[in-house]
Structure 1
């Protein structure tokens, strides 16, 4: 029995270290990250961290993969059950931006995405998230067009790509504490673009602000 349980225990320990490394990245950034920082967050010795992750780079890859999955599936859950295409677009616009400058998951992703400039594995993960988010928008846009709820001013792929790029750009300003771009302002501007690109009535800025996620992503597993 103990031999059968060991792989599960190792997997659980790795998950704990991924979570601890994520917290350490939020606190210190990727460049300043050390094994002892992860150990402190996990409440274990640095030697035990190195036992599971002899190469800190491998741990960073696992953190990035986990963060990408969390972010994407949180967005997918937000559109599930929404009955109409304008409503799904509002949900997407409300869920693709940081909730504020202290949004831990978004902070992790921006830190790790910046790491992509020097590492092809991280670049591939960044590209994967972008492609998955674009595909989610494309799905909503094409469904809305087929249902006669949306009239697209450009191909669905172009509208979706612009929407995700705007989210990423505004999100960077939000986490960087640019006082000219707060979450509500960014959502209003993103919604304005989507309304023009789809011909849909997507509601007022106040309505959009109220449609933002109710459960912060940094609190999800």
Structure 2
């Protein structure tokens, strides 16, 4: 049995291993042995920490949502211009590559949410948090006179989240769109919503 002080580290290790297993093998039929294959622990240890593998999957989802949101929250913290904050917020919502593990896991769990209330509620919370990121920066830009909003901040924010989700899904699914092209397409829409030049000349 692991010492109490190692419990947190072991669980974090298994959450990371489970993410890799979900990405490589999918969520349906996920087994303790699949998680163990991506960690230094055996299947018995996985079962010890998570007798119900569903609990591990739920921790994976919570971790992915938290990391995704807080990484995005921090991405524009050093910018003092709403225009730059908006550019960074948009960029942080686009996968850096098709190997981005948190994007892969969130896409996999998104489909699972259709059948599971817990996962559905987490996806709804993530959507709310993402919209709030945009509402904050759009409201700041409008108050500073830098943005001339054609829609309410809430409506514009919802549209931007929907665009990044849709483009991200297509990108991760193999559609021949490059990251820079997705960024440019969303920026073009954001320019219309804010009346502010966002694309680099």
Shared fold (TM-score, shorter chain, > 0.5): yes
Mapping of 1:1-221 within 5 angstroms?
6-179=3-176, 181-204=177-200
Using the alignment, how far apart are the partners of 1:118 and 1:165 within structure 2?
A: 21
Structure 1 residue 100: Cα displacement: 2.1
Using the alignment, how far apart are the partners of 2:63 and 2:98 within structure 1?
A: 21
Using the alignment, how far apart are the partners of 1:162 and 1:194 within structure 2?
A: 9
Structure 1 residue 32: Cα displacement: 4.1
Q: What are the ranges of 5 or more consecutive residues in structure 2 without an aligned counterpart?
A: none
Structure 1 residue 90: Cα displacement: 0.5
Using the alignment, how far apart are the partners of 1:123 and 1:115 within structure 2?
A: 8
Using the alignment, how far apart are the partners of 2:62 and 2:173 within structure 1?
A: 23
Aligned residues: 200
SS of 2:95 mapped into structure 1: coil
Q: What are the ranges of 5 or more consecutive residues in structure 1 without an aligned counterpart?
A: 208-221
Structure with more relative contact order (C-alpha pairs < 8 Å, separation 6 or more): 1
Q: Is the 8 A contact 2:64 2:106 kept in 1?
A: yes
Please list every run of at least 4 consecutive aligned residues from structure 1 whose deviation after the TM superposition is greater than 2 angstroms. 5-8
SS of 1:83 mapped into structure 2: coil
Give the alignment's TM-score, normalised by structure 2: 0.96
CA RMSD of aligned residues (A): 1.3
Structure 1 residue 81: Cα displacement: 1.3
